Structure 1
Amino acid sequence: MVIDKYKRPRAITLEKQVIVLPPLSRVNMQQLILPVLLASCWTTCAGAGDWCYQSQFSCDHHCNAPDNWDHAHTDCGGRNQSPINIVTRKTLRDERLTPFQFANYQQAFRGTIKNNGHSVQVGVPILSTISGGSLSTSYKAVQFHLHWGNNGGPGSEHTIDGEQYPMELHIVHMKHHYTDLTTALSDPQGVAVLGFFYEKSNSANRKYEPIIKALQSIKAANGNTSLQSISLAQLIPPEQNLTNYYRYKGSLTTPGCTEAVVWTLFENPIPLSMEQLRAFSELKFQDGKRMVGTFRPVQPLNGRQVFRSGGAVIMASSALLLAAMAAALGLSQSN
């Protein structure tokens, strides 16, 4: 028997009571189906393809924007994700966060710089290590990469009291006894990342000229070129200015978002001119769009504690001590 579903009354049983509904017309069916089809289309548009940044997303480019990274990479929905906003008044001073020891950071090397379709990345071919700073062991540098905004606009991944800097540098390290990053990421503290912020300067930072110059040769995705001789030390502030930093437990900031990272974020920013900052926005994503807005939005803290080193407090105390000594000397001389 064929039943015409548009003419036959429909019945819904609720707690043994039968409610008879009026016949459902074809017009009513269309009104119900249309929103479902539109929602299905939007879901397909929003959830298909590889991961991407919000600046890349459009229905012409089907990709998973940051809010949907966990659809394909479940760890991206974890409770210990990065980046975060650091609220300085809520940080806790930790006396164990002593100055770092940097080994072979001054050693120059000639690496390869690559546009990997999401960022600029440079492998570190020499043995450069960090220790101290309350790290459980020494970690060796693997690579560094950057995150930026649009033509020098806000672009850092981490924020300090809600402030987003123009760009952020990540120097990625793994425990010294591991031979590859994949293995290190299986260790809950297998990776240590040093994060540095950038600020706008009125003059160019000549130490960055090898990188800025190389960007002209890697505008297209997957482009790579040899980098002029550089050292890790020339890219970051002087070692004596690296005593003030924040520490927390987090994750990679790109899929798969593995929660195996000991994060260290330094207070003192690196100066770059506006022209140097804008050079990064001339690169291209895989789809040919300008590579801008290459940062993940900040993630919930979910009860994690952010610690700070004692450097800032020690420096303030020293300044007060010097002021007191100067005042005392002034008084003794007047007598």
Structure 2
Amino acid sequence: WCYQSQFTCDHQPEKWNHANQACAGQKQSPINIITRKTLKDGHLTPFKFHGYQDTFKSTIKNNGHSQVGLPHVCTISNGGLPTNYKAVQFHLHWGTDGGPGSEHTIDGEQYPMELHIVHMKSIYNDLTAALGDPEGVAVLGFFYEISSSLNRKYDPIINALQSIHATDGNTSLPPISLAQLIPSEKNLTSYYRYKGSLTTPPCAESVIWTVFKKPIPLSMNQLKAFSQLQFRDGKQMKGTFRPVQPLNGRQVFRSGSAVILSNSALLLATIAMALGLSQPI
């Protein structure tokens, strides 16, 4: 299978179901999130991030979209998730030289790049087993936006890209933490939630998706660095995103505080009583 930008491949995204039948399923990802059609869900509370501040050593690999393996000491909980999930890997999807390239879109807007931090339920020891569970995988998605200044926290990633231009190339990363790659925790309370799939074959529909509203800033030169990687045929690695898929009746939710809603209802009731519009029970 390959992306639309790879003209030499028979199995482009619209034919991924030939490579794996699940890619023609009814709960596929990514999607276009229409914000006015999202529903606020008070159960979508702030996440608890465990180990995200801890530094770790890993390798970054060019496997069609750069991928970094993660230690399982990084875990997430709360955020409306049914249980704890441990980190497995992260990877990125991008466009061409900083142009549109995110997988998810917001009201039709496509960002330059998107980060996916992949987690699986803590009870599983490998991702394959987790994919057999309808809620076995939780992916955190983050958009990138163009900034006028460099994001120095990304220097380890950007510098490493120079060593993995060719497919299957890999190199060691200096110690980094997940926290340095994403917005601060106080900016991670606003997000969207829906049930979907992996965005590459096997397209397993086992993913609880969380797409955060707050984007990560990178300079144009930093974004362009990703397009210097190469596909197997030596062509420029660009357009590494799957087109958005039909919702097929799925509901997309957004985070929101149930406490605020209940307080608002109490306030309205108090005002109504003060105006004599209702009687106390």
Q: Counterpart of 2:179 in 1: which secondary structure? A: helix
Equivalent residue number for residue 81 of structure 1: 28
- Separation of aligned partners in 1, 2:198 and 2:127: 12
Task: Give, in whole Å, the separation in 1 of the partners of 2:30 and 2:167.
Answer: 25
One of 35, 49, 53 as aligned partner of 2:3: 53
Offset at 1:62? 3.4
Contact kept, 8 Å, 1:109 with 1:126, in 2: the verdict is no
Distance 1:244 1:237 in 2: 12
Q: Answer yes or no: is 1:65 the counterpart of 2:15.
A: no
- 1:93 paired residue number: 40
Matched, 1:170 2:116: yes
The one-letter code matched in structure 1 to 2:85 is Y
CA distance in 1, matches of 2:62, 2:250: 34
1:103 aligned residue:
50
Q: Paired residue for 1:254?
A: 200
Q: Partner residue of 1:156? A: 102
Instruction: Give the structure with the larger helix fraction.
Output: 1
Q: Which residue of 2 aligns with 1:201?
A: 147
Q: Aligned match of 1:306 in 244, 252, 275?
A: 252
What 5-or-longer segments of structure 2 have no aligned partner?
Answer: 264-281
Name the SS for the 1:54 alignment partner. Answer: coil
Deviations 1:213-250, CA, capped at 9 Å, x for gaps: 00000000000000011000000000011000000000
Q: Which runs of 5 or more structure 1 residues have no equivalent in the other structure?
A: 1-50, 318-335
Counterpart of 1:55 in 2: which secondary structure? coil
d(CA) in 1 for partners of 2:40, 2:9? 45
Task: Summarize the alignment of residues 10-25 of structure 1 with structure 2, pairs less than 5 Å apart.
Answer: none
Which AA in structure 2 matches 1:63?
D
Residues 128-155 of structure 1 show CA distances to partners (whole Å, capped at 9, x for unaligned) of 1000011000000000000000000000
> 1:115–1:224: 8 Å Cα contact kept in structure 2?
yes
Separation (CA, whole Å) in 2 of partners of 1:75 and 1:126: 28
Give the C-alpha shift of residue 310 in structure 1.
Answer: 1.0
Question: Could you say which structure has the higher strand fraction?
Answer: 2
Q: State how many pairs are aligned.
A: 261
RMSD: 1.4
SS at match of 2:18: helix
Stretch of structure 1 that moved more, 124-133 or 106-115: 124-133
Amino acid at match of 2:163: S
Aligned with residue 119 of structure 1, among 55, 65, 89:
65
Q: Which amino acid aligns with 2:166?
A: A
TM-score (norm 1): 0.76
How many percent identity over aligned positions?
72
SS, match of residue 69 in structure 1:
helix
Structure 2-normalised TM-score?
0.91
